[in-house]
Amino acid sequence: MNQKQKQWLWGLYLGYLVVLFALSVVLIPRGDLTAIEKISFLLLMILTASMPIIYRGHVLTLFQWVSLAVFLKYGLLVEIVMTQFAIITTLYSAGVRYGSLYRIPVNTFIFLITSLVSAAVFYFLGGEVGRGLALTFQQQLVPIFAYAVTFLVVNHTLIHLFRVLVLKANSSFLKGIMREVAISSIMLPLGLMLLYLSEAVGLVAVFILGSFFAGIGMFLQMYHKSQYTNRMLKDVTEYGYELNACNTREKLIHLFAVQVEQFLEADTVVLYEGKQQELNLLNGSLLDAEWSNHFQSGDLYSKNVYETGSPYTMLRREDGDLRDIRLPEIYQSVVSLPIRQKEDTYGVITVFSKNMYHFKKQRIHMLEILVNIFAVAIKNVDLLETTKQESVRDPLTGLYNFRYMMEALKKTVNEADFPFSIILLDLDHFKKINDTYGHQSGNDVLEAVADRMRKICPDNSVISRYGGEEFVILLPHHGEEDARQVGILLQQDFSSRSILIRSDLLVGETVDIKVTASFGIAEAGKKDHAMDLIRKADRAMYNGAKSKGRNRVATYSDIKQEHSLSL
């Protein structure tokens, strides 16, 4: 529901309360002998309403057996008034908080319509209220049964329509009605028993049945909690399997953040990784731009948890000892947990809700289990990605190795529907550098050259160390002339800027040296295989650059044209 609809709803609700209060003052007798009796029934209804069962997102109310007895004993108006108290008690006990308070007027109107329609059917069939045991059971049986059936059908239909049409939630009408029938099969006999016992033995009946229901209610609540815990453990286990099945950081982080948001029914989830005593946001892509910027360097709660290594929970904004003034006041409760890997704090997860007292201990414990699973999963993914990178990277330069380049080249040759070229370059007189300054100095030169190529080559290029002092650059979407321009940029950079190295053979003396390279370029033809392209670039480099004095850029087309002219 949008804000304007909620405002209209609350306006109607306040008007309804005024009318209900006025009717109560005028029509409900005061100071009579039934006042204590009515208060006793009201307290019993509030007791039963305080023990709702939450089943798969549905709040199952159990006060209808008392409301049935109240209707048959005192009439429609008293039943409506007491139901209003029961609705508020039920929703409060079910954990409805600030963000969903609109459910109070919604449920009030649903139960009001239900009571009016059910009472109309009851009266139409000849039923009478306030007669106690004056009428025989047979005389009241059909109207009472019709009242109960009408109440069940109308109430469930209205709730189903609201969930489907307004909340856009998936809801099975048949499953819901069967659930209500099961509950009503217990509530109807209890209600009739309460009515007749109250007539027979007075207020003692309210005490006896109240105690009986309290015992049943406590048993049902404990059973529900155990079932709820089992269901959550099952969900956590399934989440764990899904997390451990992820093989990339991005997928794992996205899945974990979404799981936590759904599992805790939270409004915002932020996930941080700690590096060098600072927090880095991991799931910024899941947040709005405004929130992503706000959480980029860590919120106050997450920073506190990262520094102390201890969890932090704030159930109500006013009671929190930490306050991040940058957060809107709409966020009322927070839970923040450290993500640990052995003794170290890897990062922090912080979850925000617009509702006060939203994070119950049971769910926080389950979140801790999920966080532990995530900590293991992210470590495994990082290890997997490190191993993968090591298998395709040259350990000295950090560039791709020959195996990866050949796989990328074969894939591009087989699948690409766009022009592409390769550059094969060989450092000139590199053996002389090794002999003069030492092999470690030669390694320093290779690292410097790799760094320059990374800075100059286009972002979509694949740069690899082919072997020794030779490198191959794959340039997608580059024809031969475009690739020549990249080669020229590299050639000019190499020949114009020196590299500072520390000589191993000259007692650690630092030396500025210039390193040039010879470049061979070839564009892929329609029938070329990967090795065909390598051979073309190799021929261009040796015949067009090395053999003509080095420090040159040559293309296969140049060599081919020169060869045809010589013939």
Domain 402-566: CATH superfamily, name plus number = Reverse transcriptase/Diguanylate cyclase domain (3.30.70.270)
Average pLDDT of the residues in 225-252:
81
User: How does pLDDT run across 9-29, given as a tens digit for each residue?
Assistant: 888 989 888 888 888 777 776
For the chain, residues classed under CATH 3.30.450.40 are 248-387
pLDDT tier for residue 295 given thresholds of 50, 70 and 90 = confident
Q: Is the confidence at residue 359, as pLDDT, over 60?
A: yes
- The burial class, CB within 10 Å (0-12 / 13-18 / 19+), for 302 is buried
Least confident of 305-314, 320-329, 476-485: 320-329
Q: Is the dihedral of CA 382, 386, 391, 397 positive or negative?
A: positive
DSSP string over 265-280: T-SEEEEEEEETTEEE
Identify whether 329 is a catalytic site residue.
no
Q: What is the mean pLDDT of the chain?
A: 84
Of 469, 472, 464, the residue nearest 439 (C-alpha) = 469
Contact predicate 33/64, CB 8 Å: no
Distances, alpha carbon 87 to alpha carbons 167, 451, 489, in Å: 19, 69, 76
- Please tell me the predicted confidence (pLDDT) of residue 326: 63
Average pLDDT of the residues in 267-282:
85
Q: Is the confidence at residue 520, as pLDDT, over 90?
A: yes
Contact predicate 80/112, CB 8 Å: yes
Distances, alpha carbon 516 to alpha carbons 423, 465, 491, 549, 558, in Å: 15, 16, 7, 11, 21
Q: Is the confidence at residue 133, as pLDDT, over 60?
A: no
- The identity of residue 382, as a single letter, is D
User: How does pLDDT run across 418-463, given as a tens digit for each residue?
Assistant: 899 999 999 999 999 998 888 889 999 999 999 999 999 999 999 9
- Expressed in angstroms, the distance from the first to the final Cα of the chain is 83
**Residue bearing the bigger pLDDT, 386 or 515:** 515
Sequence-separated (6 or more) residues with CB below 8 Å from residue 209: 44, 190, 193, 194, 197
For the chain, residues classed under CATH 3.30.70.270 are 402-566
DSSP string over 499-560: EEEE-TTTTT-EEEE---EEEEEEEPPTT--HHHHHHHHHHHHHHHTGGGTSS-EEEHHHHH
User: How does pLDDT run across 160-174, given as a tens digit for each residue?
Assistant: 888 888 777 676 778
- Tell me phi and psi for residue 520, to 5 degrees: -120, 130
Distance CA 192, CA 178 (A): 22
How many percent of the chain have pLDDT more than 70?
Answer: 88
Average pLDDT of the residues in 513-528:
92
Of 301, 297, 265, the residue nearest 284 (C-alpha) = 297
DSSP 3-state of 298: coil
Contact predicate 176/157, CB 8 Å: no
- The burial class, CB within 10 Å (0-12 / 13-18 / 19+), for 406 is middle
Sequence-separated (6 or more) residues with CB below 8 Å from residue 107: 87, 91
**Residue bearing the bigger pLDDT, 162 or 117:** 117
Contact predicate 541/518, CB 8 Å: yes
Buried b / exposed e over 513-533, threshold 16 CB at 10 Å, is bebebbbbbbbbeeeeebeeb
Which residue out of 273, 318, 447, 469 is catalytically annotated?
Answer: 469
Distance CA 395, CA 96 (A): 58
Distance CA 250, CA 295 (A): 18
The 3-state secondary structure of 117-180, one letter per residue:
HHHHHHHHCCCCCCCCCCCCHHHHHHHHHHHHHHHHHHHHHHHHHHHHHHCCCCCCHHHHHHHH
- Please tell me the predicted confidence (pLDDT) of residue 202: 75
Contact predicate 367/260, CB 8 Å: yes
Of 452, 447, 455, 424, the residue nearest 544 (C-alpha) = 424
CATH code of the domain made up of 248-387: 3.30.450.40
Sheet of strand 553-555, all strands in order from the earlier edge strand to the far edge? 462-467, 470-476, 420-427, 517-523, 553-555
- Please tell me the predicted confidence (pLDDT) of residue 3: 75
- Please tell me the predicted confidence (pLDDT) of residue 567: 45
Distances, alpha carbon 452 to alpha carbons 386, 468, 493, 546, in Å: 24, 17, 8, 21
How many percent of the chain have pLDDT more than 90?
Answer: 28
Of 231, 233, 266, the residue nearest 55 (C-alpha) = 231
Q: Is the confidence at residue 549, as pLDDT, over 80?
A: yes
Least confident of 236-245, 298-307, 323-332: 323-332
